Chains A and B, each alone.
Chain A
Amino acid sequence: MKNKGKQILCAVLSTVLCFGVSVGAAACGEGTTSGGEDVTLVIWLPQEDRQYAEEVTAAFQELHPEKNYTFLFGAQPESDAGTAVLNDVSNAPDIFCCASDHLRKLYNGGAINRLGGALLNRLNNEIDAAAMEAATLDVAGDKQTYGIPYTYNTYFLFYNKAKLSEEDVKTVDGILAKCSEKEQFGYPLNDGWYSSAFLFGAGVTYDVEYDANFGEVKIDTTLDGADGIAAAQAMGRYSNNAGFKGDSNDSKIVAGFEDGSIIAGVSGVWNLKSIEAILGDDMGIAPLPTYTFNTETNEQKPLKAFAGYKLMCVCNYSTVKADALLLAEYFCNYDNQMKHFEMRSYTPTNKKAMQEQKVQDDLCCSVTLQVMANSQSAASVPTTWWTPLESLGNAMITTQITDAGVVSQITSAVANIRKGV
């Protein structure tokens, strides 16, 4: 009998071992189901848009009583959505929000559904032409639209009106004149999305050649030209200034406004509500300032921001594509763009909404449109652009960089950006 007991014990132990193995590997994915009246739609959007999305989808359900919709939301910032979708295309959400500079990669990965027919005609009529252009790819001469632009994706200057005047914020030097080690100007210098503004303002360009699938074949840039180096040296000069906080990012800027260590910072509309909550009426918004390009002649150049759009896309592998297209269009219509504007200050792309008096009067919207008017389109930015710029910024932040140091940093950055040249 004793032997039997041992056997049972052994059996139990081996089963436990087995569970250990299988639990580690168990994974489950929730797909979407179609058919009949029940439709489940998976939607990815930023966490801050959750409330807005819930209200919109509830209204959508009321509009379509013939179907029984279930909406599942995933929190995914637009900036990473393209990458996340491509990581598992077949299990991607039905609808997702992404930045327009992901469009080529998403097309390359076959992830997004092309828009057409009456839907496309309606969108072309209702939405700003430049925005629709940003959602459109030129595939061997054929214009193909793959997403619905619902707002602009760029950045501008936030400042504390109690500390800085409207005149101060016209130039970086004007801002820094009022800044000190205790009250700084926050500018994310180690993030290519922001730091490139110095370079584009000086006329730096990049040029990407694509193959038929929008794979990058050849990448070239004028970053190591005289203008590029002078612009980078200006960045270096500013980063050596005690009032300039190059080591900042969205959350550090908000925290800085809160504890008073930052009196001006470059960020986007996504931070507007949190900064407004801190500064209240003292919150100022302005287009990006100009910077001193040449210290001898005091020549000023503008900071030229990266700019794009935020798109709502439908996954090509969605099993409920018809419903997804319907909902995506609904999300981007006049009413809901106005709702988005009211809830999160997002500048609408809908032509009618743009004409609304309260949109016209809104400072954030007008600043956004001013920045857009003189901006660098993020549509075909090379994928090799970001890390070298991050490294350039890191070098400026951690050392008192010299002009010669900037030149050597630019040389290695360009070597890493260029491809097939």
Chain B
Amino acid sequence: MEPIETTAKQNFFARLWSNIKFSFKRLRERIKSAAMTVVHGSVATKMSVCFMGLGQIMRKQFVKGILYALLEVLFILFMVFFGGTYLFKFLFSGHLGTVQETEQVWDDALNQYVSVPGENSMFILLYGVVSLVVLVLFVIAWAMNVKGSVNNDRLIAAGKPVNTFKQDCALYINRKFYVTLLLLPLIGLTVFTVMPLVFMILIAFTNYDYQHLPPSKLFDWVGFSNFANLFSLADGTGFAKVFLLILAWTIIWAFVATFSNYFLGIIVAKVINRPRTKFKKLWRTLLVIPIAIPQFITLLMMSKILDGDGILNKIIGTTIYWLADTRYLSLLPRITIILVNMWIGIPFTMLMVTGILMNIPQDMLEAAKLDGANSWQLFWKIEMPYIFHVTTPYLITQFVGNINNFNIIWLLTGGGPADSIHYGVGNSKSTDLLVTWLYRMTTDTNVQYAMASVIGIAVFVICGLVSLITYNRSKAVTQEEEYQ
């Protein structure tokens, strides 16, 4: 197999696609060759295919063989007594349960109304995913067992002794130490990140909402209809209008919040760094104080200060609803949120940029000064490109972070105020970001888990695309060698 050629001209997605194609091709070839090896292999190998560990036991690798056999027994027990039925319902029945809980009927013996429990769609989905992951892990273990047996064949053919269990173990703290190291994090990642993620994504393809709440009701697969609903304009049920409005505000918010913090942070850092500025440490400390207090507390405090009856209005003698004025598409609350965000965010940029400014090679600046550059030119032509180059990845993470900035919106306004345009499906309010809207959908009176999951996927796609495209186009990646 020739590795695929990538040219600089190919864009990222073309490369991604050809990489995927290449991986599949390689996988197919490897399976094919593995099958051939087994077919032409020894009896022990063929036994391993049917009974895990038997091949190892035949080669006198008793501990390893028994472990493999035990694994197979455990797997079979798991599937027979627990996972199998869930896996079957999840993969093949086409429904997430068919037996619904009965109505409550009077039970004379118990002297109370009782209902006969039905199937629980949530458990079918959840344990279906878990069983599927267990199945995949088992197939990997099985392949390792066959591969081990094939390796033994090779060693015997070469006239060498097969590894003892001790030697195998020694291998995992020496040559294959990375496997030992990464095993725990990998398990953690699978159990706590991958499985929940798959589960959550699958919910987007069901009708899991307040009308279909397990355990009393079943929910079922609905294909892509939730995604269609997200872009539907249907009166009363279509999400398109609300989604696009909130998306627009989310993007505007993320853009303004990120760049206002960024540029103002740079300016503050420059001002403090000026040789003429006195009490540099004092200014820095004062500005950094908001970082020292937990954001949760500063934001709650801010929401009280900016309330209609808050201290700010008392001091300046007005009754301005900083966070509740609904006029002009709730312009005032939006601006207030961005200002509060600056107060919290500028110190971070300032600290970082201060460090960067101190690291700019002085010879560059001196050379420019000798050539007669003024301070504005120095900043704009030398310092700014340097800062921008170093901080592009930071900007990208900030932008994505602001798209998902739940804290500031939820703690300041709770997504509100309610104005006359935004609410409707999903009960959104004027300063809701996609994430706060999603959160409200899962906790509000009429919960809509499936649509919330669809919006979660939409947020993921948006963030993923923004990060991938901007990061790959940034100078930090394309011209990495220039500053080295």
- Using a CB–CB cutoff of 8 Å, the interface residues on chain A facing chain B are 7, 10-11, 14-15, 17-18, 21-22, 24-25, 82-83, 86-87, 89-90, 105, 108-111, 113-119, 190, 213, 215, 247, 252, 316-317, 321-322, 325, 383, 387-388, 390-392, 394-395, 397-399, 408-409, 412-413, 416, 418-420
Q: Which of B25-33, B109-117, B388-396 lies at the interface?
A: B109-117
B112 touching A21 by the CB < 8 A rule?
Answer: no
23 A-B contact pairs sorted by A residue (CB < 8 Å): A14-B184, A17-B185, A83-B443, A87-B442, A89-B213, A90-B214, A90-B215, A105-B210, A108-B213, A109-B210, A110-B217, A113-B113, A215-B211, A316-B216, A325-B112, A388-B418, A390-B417, A392-B420, A394-B416, A395-B326, A409-B420, A416-B423, A416-B424
A38 and B101 alpha carbons, distance in the complex (Å):
29
Which residue of chain A has its CB nearest to the CB of B429? A387
> Known pairs A22-B192, A383-B445, A391-B420. 6 more at Cβ < 8 A?
A21-B189, A110-B101, A247-B324, A316-B216, A387-B427, A409-B420
Chain B residues, CB < 8 A from A392: 420
- Chain B contact residues, majority secondary structure: loop
Chain B 183-199 per-residue mask, 1 if CB under 8 angstroms from chain A, else 0 = 01101110111001000
A247 and B313 alpha carbons, distance in the complex (Å):
14
Contacts known (A108-B210, A114-B113, A321-B112); A18 close to B185, Cβ less than 8 A: yes
- Using a CB–CB cutoff of 8 Å, the interface residues on chain B facing chain A are 101, 104, 106, 110-115, 173, 177, 180-182, 184-185, 187-189, 191-193, 196, 210-211, 213-217, 236, 308-309, 321, 324-327, 416-421, 423-424, 427, 429, 442-447
Contacts known (A11-B180, A11-B181, A252-B309); A397 close to B327, Cβ less than 8 A: no
B192 touching A25 by the CB < 8 A rule?
Answer: yes
CB distance from A241 to the nearest CB of B (A): 13
Of the listed residues A83, A86, A108, A110, the one surrounded by the most CB atoms of chain B closer than 10 A to its CB is: A110
B236 touching A394 by the CB < 8 A rule?
Answer: no
A108 touching B188 by the CB < 8 A rule?
Answer: no
B308 touching A247 by the CB < 8 A rule?
Answer: yes
- Chain A contact residues, majority secondary structure: helix
A390 touching B418 by the CB < 8 A rule?
Answer: yes
A394 touching B213 by the CB < 8 A rule?
Answer: no
CB distance from B94 to the nearest CB of A (A): 23
A215 and B207 alpha carbons, distance in the complex (Å):
14
A394 touching B419 by the CB < 8 A rule?
Answer: yes
Chain B residues, CB < 8 A from A83: 443-445
B177 touching A7 by the CB < 8 A rule?
Answer: yes
A416 and B424 alpha carbons, distance in the complex (Å):
5
Contacts known (A116-B113, A316-B115); A398 close to B211, Cβ less than 8 A: no
A14 touching B113 by the CB < 8 A rule?
Answer: no
A394 touching B216 by the CB < 8 A rule?
Answer: no
Chain A residues, CB < 8 A from B193: 21
CB distance from A295 to the nearest CB of B (A): 25
Which residue of chain B has its CB nearest to the CB of A110? B216
B420 touching A316 by the CB < 8 A rule?
Answer: no
Chain A residues, CB < 8 A from B216: 89, 109-111, 316
